[in-house]
Chains A and B, each alone.
Chain A
Amino acid sequence: MWGPAVVSALLQLLFLIISVKILGEAAERIGIPSVTGEILAGVLLGTLFLDVETDIITFFAELGSIFLLFTAGYNEVSLKNLKFESITALVPTLSQIVFAFIFGFALGRIFDFNFLESFFLGVAFNPTSIAVVLGTLINLNYLSSRPGTAILSSAFLDDIIALFFLSVVVNFARFNRIPPVLGILIIAGKILLFLLIMYILGNYLFPRLFIYAEKMHAKEAVFSLVIIIALFSAYLAELFELSPAIGAFTGGIVLSEIPLAKLQDIQSKVYGLAHGILIPIFFAFIGFLIDPYALRNAGSFTLLVILAAFSGKLAGGFIGSKAIGFDSYESLIFGIGVMPRAGIELVILTIGRELQIINQEIFSAMVLMVIVSIIISPACMKWAIQASRRRDRGRQ
């Protein structure tokens, strides 16, 4: 069992987990989310180890991406708690989604990417990570403001739409071109069928399974069942030729209202497995995949990607907020709030790279964009909120 490959993988895994935690902590102490440190740990792995056991670490990273999305649906979202805001609250959300997509697509076209690559860029410009700015909003006591609540509403919607379009893009990739209208209908049908099956399973089969699991003598039966359903949903999505990401996310949402699956005890075990081990390895793996030479080759593309990604969200958010009556500062704050990308964005990028929709250069550039967005968004948000408050004080 303990062949040489496994032994060196063990060492590399050990190094990864240690460095991920240390660098993540260093990042948090400086004031930026630990993701940046975790990605850096992966870069370090690439430089320090000559012969990385890529297969084994890749598999851990893939599990990490599945659990990233699973916990997003399972732990971090509550459908029943979501108040349905008025329709007007949706306008800034939709506008920033549309603008981000257009900017991404246009960027692809400018650089002569084919339709599929440009479409993927548009989709990849979409997701938002609320965790990045949430700390700033809480610290500055700005969460209950109009832009604050609007940012919250868009966070959830953003991710769902991005995942939906990701499935579409993944299917387009299998055709290797844009399929005819019939193809599009079939893809939509597949997505709907998958969601329908998950809904039926989640309402009728899974609750019963949990009741049986609770009565089982086998150890940790309920926890195992949660993991089983997470992996099963990812696998089922793969069978339907959607990405495992959307499967895991749906699996998480489907489990999020079953009492036995959401016992505090079980939640903390899942969270521990996911955020303690697997997800950091996923982020480190992304760092490992970045090719700094590719970044240099990409040159101006990298810079334009960063600018386009930020301005797309900023402009879309700004215009949408203005349209429903926010003042300039509030609109700016909303735009900044939807700028940062993190977890789900990185999952989408890895899927694009795996399916060879985007090449190494685009991948590295986009990851750099994610890192930059994580670093500067909290600072920009803080500046904007303080400026807005100074202006308010000045008025009084």
Chain B
Amino acid sequence: MGANVDRTFELENSFSRRNFPRGSRKEEETEDREKRGKHSGKHRNSPEPSPPPKSVNERFETCLWMTIDELMTREVVKIYENTPVEEILSLYGKYPYHILPVVNDKNELVGIIDLDIILEILLLCLVPREKHTLITAIRSLGETAKEIMITHPITISLNATLKDASDLMMKYRLDRICIIEDNRLVGIVSKRDIVEEICRRKTKS
């Protein structure tokens, strides 16, 4: 019980401290990591969910200790860089994919294909004039995944925190982020995953 109170006290403090502009963000991040280290250990040992929320603060704070690998989808549907475009289009026709990561034969992430690109390719004649650029034309003529993909996807590493992912999502309205380790694709985390997981944990506790 004493341990619980201590933990709550620390959490409350860290929350109130966040309201003031901090001098060093690095301090904050190492604190996060330390706390996470303590608690993820706790999670693995005790399968029960955290005790029922005593205050509004606590209800939201449990989620701060989640790591990306708890939230992400590991079985990612991906395609290789020389997949022909017809195959990609049929994939989109059959399954409700949003983005398809493109990997090379070493399983390294080299690009992503998203719905916007596919829409532009399929409705090329309806593309608005502001999109009449060289890159749209090249994509429409592309024959493999490599030629139509976005070659600079946003990625985060496996040991990123939930805050890193949510920062990107909230600031830049990203819906999905690829997770890489040593340049290799290991998973995808989406806004929906995060929302579902937190809501689930809220209702459980």
Is A130 an interface residue when CB atoms closer than 8 A count as contact? yes
Q: Which of B21, B124, B139, B172 has the most CB of A within 10 A?
A: B172
Contact A144–B141 (Cβ < 8 Å) = yes
For residue A214, which residues in chain B have a CB less than 8 angstroms away from its CB? Answer: 167-168, 171
Is B199 an interface residue when CB atoms closer than 8 A count as contact? no
Distance (Å) between the CB of B141 and the closest chain A CB? 6
For residue B133, which residues in chain A have a CB less than 8 angstroms away from its CB? Answer: 75-76, 131, 134
Band of interface residues on B: 20 to 34
For residue B172, which residues in chain A have a CB less than 8 angstroms away from its CB? Answer: 222, 263-266
Q: Which residue of B lies closest to A78 (CB)?
A: B135
Interchain CA distance A222-B167 in the complex, whole Å: 13
Stretch of B50-58, B146-154, B185-193 contacting A (4+ beta carbons < 8 Å) = B146-154
For residue B127, which residues in chain A have a CB less than 8 angstroms away from its CB? Answer: 138
Type the 1/0 row for B90-128, where 1 means its CB is closer than 8 Å to any CB of A.
Answer: 000000000000000000000000001000000011010
Contact A263–B174 (Cβ < 8 Å) = yes
Interface size on A, residues (CB 8 A): 41
Q: Contacts A77-B135, A135-B129 hold; do A143 and B140 have CB atoms under 8 A apart? A: yes
Of the residues B142, B168, B174, contact of A81 by C-beta under 8 Å: B142
Contact B154–A138 (Cβ < 8 Å) = no
Interface residues of B in 24-45 (CB under 8 A from A): 25
Interchain CA distance A135-B154 in the complex, whole Å: 31
Interchain CA distance A232-B5 in the complex, whole Å: 53
Interchain CA distance A260-B149 in the complex, whole Å: 16
Contact B138–A217 (Cβ < 8 Å) = no
Type the 1/0 row for A241-261, where 1 means its CB is closer than 8 Å to any CB of B.
Answer: 000000000000000111110
Is B204 an interface residue when CB atoms closer than 8 A count as contact? no
Contact A81–B154 (Cβ < 8 Å) = no
For residue A222, which residues in chain B have a CB less than 8 angstroms away from its CB? Answer: 172
For residue B135, which residues in chain A have a CB less than 8 angstroms away from its CB? Answer: 75-78, 81
Q: Contacts A144-B141, A265-B173, A266-B172 hold; do A28 and B134 have CB atoms under 8 A apart? A: no
Stretch of A4-12, A148-156, A299-307, A349-357 contacting B (4+ beta carbons < 8 Å) = A148-156
Contact B154–A134 (Cβ < 8 Å) = no
Interchain CA distance A149-B138 in the complex, whole Å: 9
Is B137 an interface residue when CB atoms closer than 8 A count as contact? yes
Contact A135–B132 (Cβ < 8 Å) = yes
Of the residues B138, B140, B148, B152, contact of A259 by C-beta under 8 Å: B152
For residue A134, which residues in chain B have a CB less than 8 angstroms away from its CB? Answer: 132-133, 136-137
Q: Contacts A77-B134, A83-B147, A275-B130 hold; do A263 and B125 have CB atoms under 8 A apart? A: no
Interchain CA distance A369-B25 in the complex, whole Å: 57
For residue A215, which residues in chain B have a CB less than 8 angstroms away from its CB? Answer: 25, 167
Contact B129–A155 (Cβ < 8 Å) = no
Contact B140–A258 (Cβ < 8 Å) = no
Contact A81–B151 (Cβ < 8 Å) = yes
Interchain CA distance A231-B130 in the complex, whole Å: 23
Is B155 an interface residue when CB atoms closer than 8 A count as contact? yes
Type the 1/0 row for B145-186, where 1 means its CB is closer than 8 Å to any CB of A.
Answer: 001111111110000000000011001111000000000000
Contact B137–A152 (Cβ < 8 Å) = yes
Instruction: Tally the A-B contacts, defined by beta carbons under 8 Å.
Output: 88
Interface residues of A in 337-357 (CB under 8 A from B): none
Is A33 an interface residue when CB atoms closer than 8 A count as contact? yes
Interface of chain A: mostly helix, strand, loop or mixed: helix
For residue A77, which residues in chain B have a CB less than 8 angstroms away from its CB? Answer: 134-135
Contact A257–B152 (Cβ < 8 Å) = yes
Contact B134–A143 (Cβ < 8 Å) = no
Interchain CA distance A137-B137 in the complex, whole Å: 10
Q: Which residue of A lies closest to B133 (CB)?
A: A76
Contact B138–A78 (Cβ < 8 Å) = yes
Is A382 an interface residue when CB atoms closer than 8 A count as contact? no
Is A396 an interface residue when CB atoms closer than 8 A count as contact? no
Is A262 an interface residue when CB atoms closer than 8 A count as contact? yes
Contact A82–B138 (Cβ < 8 Å) = yes
Contact A28–B137 (Cβ < 8 Å) = no
Is A80 an interface residue when CB atoms closer than 8 A count as contact? yes
Is A86 an interface residue when CB atoms closer than 8 A count as contact? no
Is A47 an interface residue when CB atoms closer than 8 A count as contact? no
For residue B142, which residues in chain A have a CB less than 8 angstroms away from its CB? Answer: 81
Q: Which residue of A lies closest to B142 (CB)?
A: A81
For residue A155, which residues in chain B have a CB less than 8 angstroms away from its CB? Answer: 134
Interchain CA distance A134-B127 in the complex, whole Å: 11
Q: Contacts A77-B134, A259-B153 hold; do A217 and B173 have CB atoms under 8 A apart? A: no
For residue A76, which residues in chain B have a CB less than 8 angstroms away from its CB? Answer: 133-135
Q: Which of B125, B134, B154 has the most CB of A within 10 A?
A: B134
Q: Which residues of B contact A (CB under 8 A)?
A: 21, 25, 116, 124-125, 127, 129-130, 132-142, 147-155, 167-168, 171-174
* Besides A131-B132, A149-B141, 5 new A-B residue pairs in contact (Cβ under 8 A), listed by A number: A78-B151, A135-B129, A156-B134, A257-B152, A264-B172
Lowest 3 CB-CB distances: which A-B pairs, in order? A76-B133, A80-B151, A265-B172
